[in-house]
Amino acid sequence: MKARIHGVGWVTPLGRDPAAVWQAIQAGATPRPGELTNPFTGRTHPIRRVDPASVADVAGRPRLRRSSVISHFAVAAALDALRDAGCDPANERVALVFAATNGGVIYTRRFFEDVSKTGAHAGSPLLFPETVYNAPASHVAAALGMPGISTTLVNDATVGVEAIAAAVELLESDACDHCLVVAAEEADWVICEAYATWRLTGEAPTIETKRESGAIFGEGSAAVLLGADGNGPEIAELHSGTLFRSIAQARTKLVRIVGNFAGDVPLVISSASETRFDEAERDVAPAARRIAPKAALGECFAASTLAQIVCATLAIRDGTSNALIPVVGFHGQVAALALRG
Amino acid sequence: MGCVSPLGPDCAGAAAALADARDCVSPVEAFDVSGCKCRSAGQIPDAWLDRAASATRRARRWNRASQMLLLAAIEALGGREDFAPDAVVIGTTSGGMTFGEAFYRMFERGARDRRAPQWVRDYMPQQPVRDAMGVFGFEAPVRIVSNACASGTNALGAAFHLVRSGRARRVLCGGYDALCELVFAGFSSLQAATEEKCRPFDAQRSGLVLGEGAAVFLLEPLADALRANRAVLAEIAGYGASTDNHHLTQPNPDGSGPRRAMESALTDAGWSGGEIEYVNAHGTATPFNDACEARALAAVCPGAPVSSTKGQMGHSLGAAGAIEAAFCVLAMRGGFLPANVNFRAPDAGVALDIVANTPRRTRPRRVLSNSLGFGGANASLLLEAAES
């Protein structure tokens, strides 16, 4: 059985409307980044922010009033993917697979800040529950009325591909009629500082310059609704994350795993974010048209991978025959996915 | 199967502590808990973790979580270097969070630390898995499940389905979590942790204590194991999961969440609730959790003997489901039902056959292990004793 994508949704720094955002990405939009500041050092990091107004329709829901923005992003994208597919979880068995790399880092940092300043007794009971990786999935399931299987997966950006693999398994085992795959991330200065220690962040890079001067981080979410049959792009190939120890090895492994289906692919939706890891994709379908959504949306880890899949889906809806999605994770894994129209 | 827990550095140690109904909870010394109501936890002595360095010298610098997972994996593999997994599925909630804490505190102190890049790498939930796999040279795809306290059971369930569907022939699966200040403070803030003994299902239960540990299993089709004349410790017969949308941290009191997970597992296995001969309950000893789970158990498998082993070692969160599955296997092989320690009086209106304070001598053949987590994550695993 092959799974098909029936619906897509996303929350991005360019907005939430799939067609408009996809058009802006293709046009090379690079919105002016905002800033996050480390309060201890004063160091600033550029960041591609989501306009809070774009998720205002979900942020006021009772369950989400105290939650962090990662859950707002996740619920909004999930809602849009279901609407796009015309799927009502009240009438179908819809499973949920949520993917994240950094998860609810804002509340985690704020909670530990209190604990570190004042002691282990000082943490806020409102913040702590939102620090668990599956809190956004819980909010999505509650908001959409999904009582069935819900799984949260964590890893570097390749977790987006692994989440699709998990969804395909659920569909194949007839555990659900549809599977909603959602990924979301939020931005915090501590995450920027973390990746800065690996020299992956940039001051103000642009992908167009090809300078590999570092990624601008982003925030947002993306969601795809998968079904076992019907219309929509098909998951033609899927390779879960495989480990690499050097960029050269990543490059070799990526070529090997996409080898079977890279020959005639007209479009590559790249995971490049202007870091040294971009090199790993260099030999993947070099003749194909290449679009790097992170130039516009920022490096959003797991959510970026789902956003790549959304881009490929929209390209296929526009008439592209098939598209390849290579993913290079910052934590030593490469993965790939191919969609066919 | 391999297991490192406060009950012992390996399965044999855990089996002995289970058979003795030993309470292995002790005062926390790793960080300051003076302001907390609860000041104890089930902890793994550093001396046990030092053994990880005998596998690789790098392990000396690893996070405790990595060391635990490696030791469990070494025991599980038991010299079977030929077991190259097609997939690795591991549950956790906190990864190497103590290193995340160290990274944050570096900014508070205002001094850079040359260990910062390692802290960043090693706090991530996938790193302990990468560390352990690296020792054995495994390169299989890694799936990290983080469904709060159900993570370990979810990981075993996902691995079971991978093998049963034929998507993978050999899966290394399990769970790990190490005690950390953030999570300790978290449960303290929720007033879910108790200042006295952890008393699952007791009428006067007052909350949980935390624990830590890791358990790892090697899964393969029964036919493969028999063909190769490999010892089979137990079979996974069924797995079920559900989501309770009642509240982020509190289950629906009617028990519908865990009940649906258990029913789904029974359907998956083709069993009836009456066939369950022992239940290793989630049983955290918080008032809400135990009442909810007890209601569900009374509905699904009335009369089955029930115990929670969290009284002996605390709640190890993402590792709990894997460790408790290991305890179930030890119980089936050892011919006893683990005790529900610190039990004094049954809760009014809860009709469960609690294995109170002393292990019960009997050899269960079909057992159920439950895990219930934040976010309404419920998971149930059914295990069957291996044929001799």
Give pLDDT tens digits for A210-234. Answer: 444 788 999 999 999 999 988 999 9
CATH of B2-385, one of 3.40.50.720, 3.40.50.300, 3.40.47.10, 1.10.730.10: 3.40.47.10
B272 min Cα distance to partner chain A (Å): 20
Q: What does each C-alpha distance from A273 to A9, A22, A129, B4 come to in angstroms?
A: 22, 17, 32, 40
Contact A304, A77 (CB under 8 A): no
DSSP letter, residue A102: S
Q: Specify the pLDDT at position A293.
A: 97
Band (A1; pLDDT cuts 50, 70, 90):
low
Q: Is there a contact between B104 and A153 if contact means CB atoms under 8 Å apart?
A: no
Out of B165, B244, B377, the one facing A172 most closely (by C-beta) is: B165
Query: Chain A residue closest to B192 (CA)?
Result: A125
Overall average pLDDT of the B40-47 stretch: 97
Residues from chain B contacting residue A125 (CB–CB below 8 Å)? 189-191
Q: Which of B173, B282, B292, B328 is catalytic?
A: B282
| For range A284-291, the mean pLDDT | 94
Instruction: Using the predicted structure, report yes or no on whether residue A206 has a pLDDT greater than 60.
Output: no
**Model confidence over B321-372: pLDDT tens digits?**
999 999 999 999 999 999 999 999 999 877 899 999 999 999 999 999 999 9
B181–A115 CB contact, under 8 Å:
yes
Instruction: Give the mean pLDDT of B157-171.
Output: 96
Tokens matching residue B82 = 């030929």
Query: Given B101, B142, B242, which is nearest A148 (Cβ)?
Result: B242
Inter-chain touch B374–A133, beta carbons under 8 Å:
no
- Picking from B33, B126, B146, the nearest residue to A134 by CB comes out as B146
More confident residue, B81 or B176: B176
B126-142 residue pLDDT tens? 999 999 999 999 989 99
Q: What is the pLDDT of residue B249?
A: 87
Q: Give the mean model confidence (pLDDT) for residues B143-157.
A: 98
Task: Give the C-alpha separation, B19 to A19, whole Å.
Answer: 63
Residue A59 and residue A46: Cα distance in Å, rounded?
A: 25
Catalytic, B161? Answer: no
B166 touches chain A (CB under 8 A): no
CB contacts < 8 A, A to B, total: 195
pLDDT range class, residue B82, cuts 50, 70, 90: confident
Nearest to A68 by CA among A47, A52, A57: A52
Give the mean model confidence (pLDDT) for residues B73-102: 93
pLDDT for the residue numbered B348: 85
Inter-chain residue contact B245 with A141, CB threshold 8 Å: yes
Q: State the pLDDT at residue B332.
A: 98
- Rounded mean pLDDT of A19-37? 94
Taking CA B231 as the corner, what is the angle to CA B228 and CA B232, rounded to the nearest 5 degrees?
A: 105
- CA dist A136 and A219 (Å) reads 14
Residue among A79, A12, A54 at smallest CA distance from A225: A79
> What tokens appear for A45 in the block?
């990091």
Task: Choose from A150, A161, A170, A334 for mutation: most chain B CBs within 10 A.
Answer: A150
Burial degree of A279 (CB within 10 A; 0-12, 13-18, 19+): middle
Q: Under DSSP, is residue B145 helix (H, G, I), strand (E, B) or coil? A: strand
Domains assigned to chain A: 4-340 (3.40.47.10)
pLDDT at A210 (0 to 100): 46
| Inter-chain residue contact B104 with A134, CB threshold 8 Å | no
B35 shares contact with chain A (CB less than 8 Å): yes
Active site residue B282: yes
State mean pLDDT over A48-59.
96
pLDDT at A163 over 80: yes
Give pLDDT, residue B35: 87
Which pLDDT tens digit goes with each residue over B192-243?
999 999 999 999 999 999 999 999 999 999 999 999 888 999 999 999 999 9
Per-residue HEC secondary structure of B263-307 comes to HHHHHHHCCCHHHCCEEECCCCCCHHHHHHHHHHHHHHCCCCEEE
Beta carbons within 10 angstroms of residue A248's beta carbon: 11
Q: B268 vs chain A: nearest CA distance in angstroms?
A: 10
CA distance A338 to A315: 13
Which of B58, B112, B126, B164 to mutate against chain A (most A CBs within 10 Å)?
A: B126
Place of tokens 């191919």: A338
**Confidence class for position A203, pLDDT limits 50, 70, 90:** low
A143, closest residue in chain B (CA to CA): B245
pLDDT at A277 over 70: yes
Please tell me which residue, A314 or A204, carries the higher pLDDT value.
A314
Catalytic, B315? Answer yes
Q: What is the mean pLDDT of residues B249-253?
A: 90
Instruction: Quote the pLDDT of residue A209.
Output: 45
pLDDT at B150: 97
List Cβ neighbours of B227 (8 Å cut-off, separation of 6 or more): none
Q: Which of B24, B149, B180, B328 is catalytic?
A: B149
**Cα–Cα distance for residue pair B204/B346, rounded to 1 Å:** 9
Residue B126's contacts (CB-CB under 8 Å, 6 or more residues apart) are A154, A155, A156, A331, B95, B142, B144
Among candidates B101, B142, B186 on the partner chain, residue whose Cβ is nearest the Cβ of A131: B186
Summarize pLDDT for A89-138 with one digit per residue, the tens: 999 999 999 999 999 999 999 999 999 998 888 899 999 999 999 999 99
The ipTM (two decimal places) reads: 0.97
Distances (CA, A) of B134 to A116, A131, B56, B63, B140: 33, 29, 10, 15, 11
Least confident span in A76-80, A192-196, B7-11, B236-240: A192-196
Confidence check: pLDDT of A207 > 80? no
